[in-house]
Structure 1
Amino acid sequence: MDKEKIDEITGLFRETIRKAIEEGNIEKIIAKDAVTFFYNKSRFPGIVYRLRNLELAMLLFDSGSVICTGAGREEFVVNAKDRLIEKLKEFDINLKSEPTIKLQNIVASTMFYPKINLDMFADYDENTEYEPEQFPGLIYKIAEPKTVMLVFRSGRIVITGAKSVKFAIEASRMTKKAIVDAKALIHE
């Protein structure tokens, strides 16, 4: 999507919203599709397309790439893509081909119910980084599947970089096993 199209879309939305405010119909416009577009090039170089009922956002860049963030399930991404295509058609923007979806990074979290002694875990495994003065969590890097885990004393584990749900689950299991092997559980 080139700069002119972005300006055209944002101009149309601004005009629609301006008229809606003047007529007191802003709630109707927002509720119509439960969709919101944001564009402020001084803060972000693309359009943010937020779908509240799916609780996700799509970031549209002038290169034509779109990043979907916050989707709890893969089918939400497909639904959001279809709704975006329909919305673009309303503004006479037709795509030359069907966009492909490429899953690149899954972020997930899990809870390991005993608390974790991060100092003990850091001493046990060389693939860890732990500097509590800079960040309260321990960073644990797994080579295969390539993921980075953020491990917190509370037992919360955040999984980043997984290429599939299967890899996220596998990385979670590997992390929990490493914590147990390190005898880093805090039994209170």
Structure 2
Amino acid sequence: MQDPKETINIENVVASTGIGQELDLQSVAMDLEGADYDPEQFPGLVYRTQEPKSAALIFRSGKIVCTGAKSTDDVHESLRIVFDKLRDLEIQVDEDPEIVVQNIVTSADLGRNLNLNAIAIGLGLENIEYEPEQFPGLVYRLDDPDVVALLFGSGKLVITGGKEPDDAREAVDKIVSRLEELGLLDG
């Protein structure tokens, strides 16, 4: 049986930063090759990097959200590219703007089917939401780490809300040990 922690995969890292000044997005969109800007659809300019693959959402306020990266290193590299592109347009960007990871979404696999009805009863109603008519997964809110785990009958998990890659490992450990305590991981 494979250790569920070995199956953890980062699906998306979302981080925010800013350049501390307002931007004329129309002007930036015209000068920044590959930029998408349609203010009627979305208020920000979208700039995609290919290597590493991500999207930077650049707002008029100078705030930037990076999404789609597969690691925190990729976030930093993607934003470095964005900062350099903005500097090339003679937009003032600090040498090393603060980058804050807002959310890390990971997936994992417990390697066996789960009885979500039994888990919902076993975990108690305080920290879970389970309405199979509405959504096939069980929503389990953990306090430490402060994440939300979606458990599916297939044994697959999605963990969201983490700020560090280790949050997912810690969450998987806690979920596995809690389900083992309840006798719900047998078989």
Q: Same-fold call, TM > 0.5?
A: yes
Aligned to 1:60: 58
**Equivalent-residue separation in structure 1 for 2:149 and 2:129 (angstroms):** 10
Q: Which residue of 86, 92, 97 corresponds with 1:88?
A: 86
Give the secondary-structure state (helix, strand or coil) at the position aligned to 2:131.
coil
- Whether the aligned pair in 1 keeps the contact of 2:180 and 2:186 (CA below 8 Å) is no
Aligned to 1:51: 49
Cα deviation, 1:41-91, whole Å, max 9, x if unaligned, reads 122110111112312111111121111112111211121121111111222
**Equivalent-residue separation in structure 2 for 1:181 and 1:57 (angstroms):** 42
**Equivalent-residue separation in structure 2 for 1:184 and 1:52 (angstroms):** 43
Give the secondary-structure state (helix, strand or coil) at the position aligned to 1:70.
strand
Q: 1:96/1:175 Cα in 2 relative to 1: closer, same or farther (>3 Å)?
A: same
Give the secondary-structure state (helix, strand or coil) at the position aligned to 2:140.
strand
Cα deviation, 1:20-42, whole Å, max 9, x if unaligned, reads xxxxxxxxxxxxxxxx3211112
More divergent stretch after superposition (142-151 vs 177-186): 177-186
Aligned to 1:29: none
Alignment length, in residue pairs? 165
Aligned to 2:28: 9
Higher RCO, 1 or 2 (CA under 8 Å, sep at least 6)? 2
Give the secondary-structure state (helix, strand or coil) at the position aligned to 1:184.
coil
Aligned to 2:180: 180
Q: 1:164/1:96 Cα in 2 relative to 1: closer, same or farther (>3 Å)?
A: closer
Q: Give matches, 1:1-188, under 5 Å.
A: 1-2=21-22, 5-13=24-32, 36-96=34-94, 98-126=96-124, 127-185=127-185, 187=187
**Equivalent-residue separation in structure 1 for 2:109 and 2:68 (angstroms):** 19
Between structure 1 and structure 2, the one with the greater Rg is: 1
Deviation of 1:131 after TM superposition, in Å, equals: 0.1
Amino acid at match of 2:22: D
**Equivalent-residue separation in structure 1 for 2:25 and 2:83 (angstroms):** 15
Deviation of 1:97 after TM superposition, in Å, equals: 5.2
- Whether the aligned pair in 1 keeps the contact of 2:108 and 2:157 (CA below 8 Å) is yes
Amino acid at match of 1:53: E
* Unaligned ranges ≥5, structure 1: 17-35
* Unaligned ranges ≥5, structure 2: 1-20
